[in-house]
Amino acid sequence: MDLLHIIVGISLILLGVSGTIYFLSTRPYQSPESVAQSYDQWTKDGILEFYWGEHIHLGYYGSPPQKKDFLKAKSDFVHEMVHWGKLNKLPTETSVLDVGCGIGGSSRILSRNYGFNVTGITISPKQVKRAQELSSSDLNTKFMVNDAMNLSFSDDSFDVVWCIEAGPHMSNKRKFAQELLRVLKPNGILIVADWNQRDDRKQPLNFLEATIMKQLLEQWSHPAFASIEGFTELLEITGLVKGKVITDDWTEQTLPSWLESIWQGIKRPSGLWHFGIIGFIKSLREVPTLLLMRIAFGTGLCKFGMFYAVKK
């Protein structure tokens, strides 16, 4: 038995133990409402914000990865994504839709540092409330509850549509792709960063890989991961893309985030006193999934995909 099998086995055992302690074995996707409930609970607990800060997404560590403060890596990710998509060349007052905005970390940077008018949307009412609390009145930001598979905005509403790590929560990837492009103005820019699975049409998952993916889906309310190739196809078949979708793989640049997430709990034991024993158990419960994520992204089972498209 190789090291990968041993780590996976230990992670799955820990997952079962921590889940049993917390009286809940999984958090499977059931509907958009189940995603909203999950994020409402995480936001209410405050544990995720305590350890991950205002950015509930991975950090950017460069290629090859450099040692970096965990929270700085997350804000750096936003700036790197802006420059990758050449959004820094756009004028101030550019209208941006931040899809899956969380508690508004990216929206605030886009407004504060680049002068954009940002509308952040999330399926979670509690995230909207927290985003509003964290955003000062001098920023051109507003936040609202919205379903990314059924956006309430009219066609051709925004200059830029921006999305980080929301795709795995979407049960209908084709509708998701259609909606992202529908609300863009002609010549508007779509820029997406997402967790993606290896294209299993080319290389089917083996038993161990399928087991890992099952856990990654069920623990964090994900119906499915798209592949980079698959989501690119979904964007292009809308007929709304000018030319080709540009993609990149930022797996290497973001990979340290998974173990750094676990290390935060060790570095900051004050969380135990702050959230108590129940909070400690809730935090402990996430460790096996974080380990499995590190394995998945480190072995090529998952990839961190970047997508750039211009609307016709």
pLDDT for the residue numbered 19: 46
Structure tokens at 41: 């609970």
d(CA 276, CA 278): 6
pLDDT for the residue numbered 23: 37
pLDDT for the residue numbered 179: 98
Mean pLDDT of 110-114: 98
Contact between residue 223 and residue 217 where contact means Cβ atoms under 8 Å apart: yes
Mean pLDDT of 177-204: 97
Contact between residue 104 and residue 135 where contact means Cβ atoms under 8 Å apart: yes
Burial class, 1, CB count within 10 angstroms (exposed 0-12 / middle 13-18 / buried 19+)? exposed
pLDDT for the residue numbered 292: 93
pLDDT for the residue numbered 276: 86
How long is the chain?
312
Structure tokens at 239: 């007929």
Residue with tokens 């804000």: 75
Of 112-121, 128-137, 264-273, 293-302, the poorest mean pLDDT is in: 264-273
As assigned by CATH, the class of the 31-205+225-272+299-311 domain is alpha beta
Mean pLDDT of 238-247: 98
pLDDT for the residue numbered 113: 98
Phi, psi (rounded to 5 degrees) for 76 = -60, -35
**Average confidence score pLDDT of the chain:** 92
| Cis amide leading into 32 (omega within 30) | no
pLDDT for the residue numbered 20: 41
pLDDT for the residue numbered 21: 40
Residue with tokens 């080709």: 244
